[in-house]
Amino acid sequence: MNDDLRISKGKGSREQQLKRLKETLRSFDAIMIGAGAGLSTSAGLTYSGERFQKYFFDFAEKYGISDIYTGGFYPFPNEETRWAWWARHIYFNRYISAPKPVYQQLLSLLKGKDYFVLTTNVDHQFQLAGFDKSRLFYMQGDYGLFQSVNPTNRKTYDNEAWVMQAMEAQGFERNKNGFFDVPTDKKLLMRIPSELIPTCPDDGSAVTMNLRSDDSFVEDEGWKKAAKLYEQYLDQHETGEILYLELGVGGNTPVIIKLPFWKMTMANPEAVYACLNYGEAYCPPQIEEQAICIDDDIGEILKKLTDKQEERNGKP
């Protein structure tokens, strides 16, 4: 974006804004986090490049798929192949922790704080890092859940047991840490047995991922409970000191996190809005006096904040 679109990069130098963020995190009790894909990318959960080639090399070679995201839309020749893809897609983006400790660094900064997390990510990394489940709202779904294609069925189903079976069926082997990895001979199957194609345990119907793509998305009881907790948190902190901490949120779905955070900051003179994003750290000029915008890798920023926090606590 450019100045013609009337944006602000916050007030002060990068170091001044970093110092202000550090002080805000120290002094404010209420921290509302809005997390997008950029947070997981910073943590190493990349969808292309080396990581994609390591786990999906055979799909890339046979079908010309170039990254994990677009592979989710590929018209595979049969269900056995499609679900083999999805077993890998789910496993390597939901059932293993991110390669870098970015989520753990964030959690350490929130110790003792009254925080809540709204995220468009579907990779479960907040819970894997130890965040309190009752303080999380996965608004766009969860890779760990299936839903029926039957529109009258408004339930979701845990897919972990199925994923583990489907990974074994393709030839993945457990490493010394107990996680699946590519065997040394790299011999993998790109299909699962027909009897492993997942179906709904209640009515036998076909299933799909519980990911928001259209109005068929199932908002189950867990989703509704989290949504209510989110609304309650916002109501409790409508006034007073609160930090709206936006992490890696792009412009694809601004109405979920970015625009509401701007609006709530504008309505509360005691609020601070912080945007940490590599290449996309900005805010509207109307809130620049309340804003902190740091253009850098989120993990690097959090590491600096974590190091400063440890210095205050007397750690070497």
- Mean per-residue pLDDT over the chain, rounded: 94
Cβ 87 vs Cβ 163: under 8 Å: yes
Residue found by looking up tokens 């929130």 in the block: 110
Mean pLDDT of 68-73: 96
- Pairwise CA distance, residues 222 & 218, whole Å: 11
Residue 5 pLDDT: 52
Residues of the chain with CATH 3.40.50.1220: 7-41+101-139+220-311
Residue-level length of the chain? 316
**Residue 117 bridge partners (DSSP):** 33, 136
Collapse the DSSP code of 54 into the 3-class scheme (helix H, G, I; strand E, B; otherwise coil) and give the result: helix
Mean pLDDT of 223-252: 96
- Among 103-107, 156-160, 252-256, name the one with the lowest average pLDDT: 252-256
Residue 4 pLDDT more than 70? no
Given the structure tokens 């997981």, which residue do they identify? 40
Query: Is pLDDT above 90 for 11?
Result: no
pLDDT at 7 > cutoff 90: no
| Contacts of 18-24 spanning 24+ positions with Cβ under 8 A | 18/294, 18/301, 18/304, 18/305, 20/292, 21/274, 21/292, 21/294, 21/305, 22/305, 22/308, 22/309, 24/243, 24/272, 24/274, 24/292
Per-residue confidence (pLDDT) for residue 252, from 0 to 100: 82
Predicted pLDDT at 200: 98
Q: Give residue 38's pLDDT.
A: 96
Q: Work out the pLDDT band at 308, boundaries 50, 70, 90.
A: low
**Mean pLDDT of the region 31-58:** 97
What's the CA gap between 149 and 89, in Å, rounded?
Answer: 20
Could you report the per-residue pLDDT of 162-171, keeping only the tens digit for each? 999 999 999 9
Q: Quick one: pLDDT at residue 251?
A: 84
Helical H runs in 28-178?
Answer: 37-42, 50-63, 68-71, 79-94, 102-109, 125-128, 160-170
Q: What is the pTM of this model?
A: 0.93
pLDDT of 2 > 80? The answer is no
Q: What is the mean pLDDT of residues 173-193?
A: 96
pLDDT of 31 strictly over 50: yes
Q: What is the mean pLDDT of residues 24-46?
A: 97
* 145-165 pLDDT per residue, tens: 999 999 999 999 999 999 999
Place of tokens 């209510």: 228
Which tokens hold the place of 163? 């994923």
For the domain made up of 7-41+101-139+220-311, the CATH class stated in words is alpha beta
Q: Does the pLDDT value for residue 115 go beyond 60?
A: yes
Of 166, 126, 170, 116, give the one whose Cα is nearest residue 146.
166
pLDDT value of position 1: 40
| More confident site: 154 or 315 | 154
Per-residue pLDDT at 309: 53
3 state DSSP class of 31: strand
